[in-house]
């Protein structure tokens, strides 16, 4: 009995071995291969690669799952200040974290990861949590910054004038300024009275 020869291995197309099948070309049944190195892609498939690579990136971790970016320590401290206020509000309201996360359309561990600093907290995330707990944005920031401390900068004063608003830090600076003007006026009047009295006294002494 003659020995049956082994079947020949199918010949690979040039350049295919370094490509991994990822999807199928739109409107066809031909597989699209995503390059695993810098080998040229099969002819006719290059135009689909940007779209597929975009899908691959979008299929990764969501933005809130990424680790915090390197930020200035002062910025991290300010964000942590707002997070501590929200965490205290949660404890006062006695609302479980998972319930807040579910109500806002997130996973059960979302609030824990946010409050623990597992990912960067965006302002929109903090505001939606505050509103859910019954805090308005202005109330949240007033609790975080009850006293501005120090004299406001020139830009802050110019903005308040341009926007026709009177924020707390402007009101606090207006009171000392108004008081200073009143004191200056009173001192000026006092010196005028003393000056007139001295002049009258000198005139009387001269007549005698």
pTM: 0.48
Q: Could you tell me which residue, 26 or 90, shows the higher pLDDT?
A: 90
pLDDT tier for residue 142 given thresholds of 50, 70 and 90? confident
Helix (H) or strand (E) holding 143: helix 137-144
Compute the average pLDDT of residues 37-52.
Answer: 52
| pLDDT score for 171 | 56
Q: What mean pLDDT value characterizes the chain?
A: 71
Compute the average pLDDT of residues 189-193.
Answer: 73
CA distance 45 to 33: 8
CA distance 85 to 78: 11
DSSP three-state, residue 132: helix
| pLDDT score for 40 | 47
| pLDDT score for 50 | 58
| pLDDT score for 73 | 77
Task: Please determine, for residue 86, whether its predicted confidence score (pLDDT) is greater than 90.
Answer: yes
Render pLDDT for 49-74 as a digit per residue (tens, 0 to 9). Answer: 555 555 545 544 554 445 555 567 77
Most confident by average pLDDT, 48-52, 127-131, 151-155, 171-175 = 127-131
């Amino acid at each position: 009995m003659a020995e049956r020869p082994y079947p020949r291995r199918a010949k690979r197309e040039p350049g295919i071995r370094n490509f991994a099948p990822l999807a199928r070309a739109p409107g066809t049944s031909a597989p699209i291969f995503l390059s695993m190195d810098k080998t040229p892609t099969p002819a006719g498939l290059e135009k689909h690669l940007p779209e597929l690579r975009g899908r691959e990136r979008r299929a990764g971790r969501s933005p809130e799952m990424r680790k915090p970016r390197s930020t200035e320590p002062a910025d991290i401290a300010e964000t942590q200040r707002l997070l501590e206020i929200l965490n205290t509000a949660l404890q006062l309201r006695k609302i479980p974290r998972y319930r807040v996360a579910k109500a806002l359309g997130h996973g059960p561990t979302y609030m824990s990861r946010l409050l623990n600093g597992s990912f960067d907290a965006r302002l929109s995330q903090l505001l939606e949590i505050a509103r859910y707990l019954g805090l308005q944005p202005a109330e949240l920031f007033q609790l975080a910054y009850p006293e501005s401390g120090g004299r406001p900068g020139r830009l802050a004063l110019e903005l308040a004038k341009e926007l026709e608003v009177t924020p707390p830090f402007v009101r606090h600076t207006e009171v000392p300024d108004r008081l200073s003007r009143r004191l200056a006026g009173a001192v000026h009047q006092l010196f005028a009275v003393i000056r007139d009295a001295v002049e009258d006294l000198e005139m009387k002494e001269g007549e005698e």
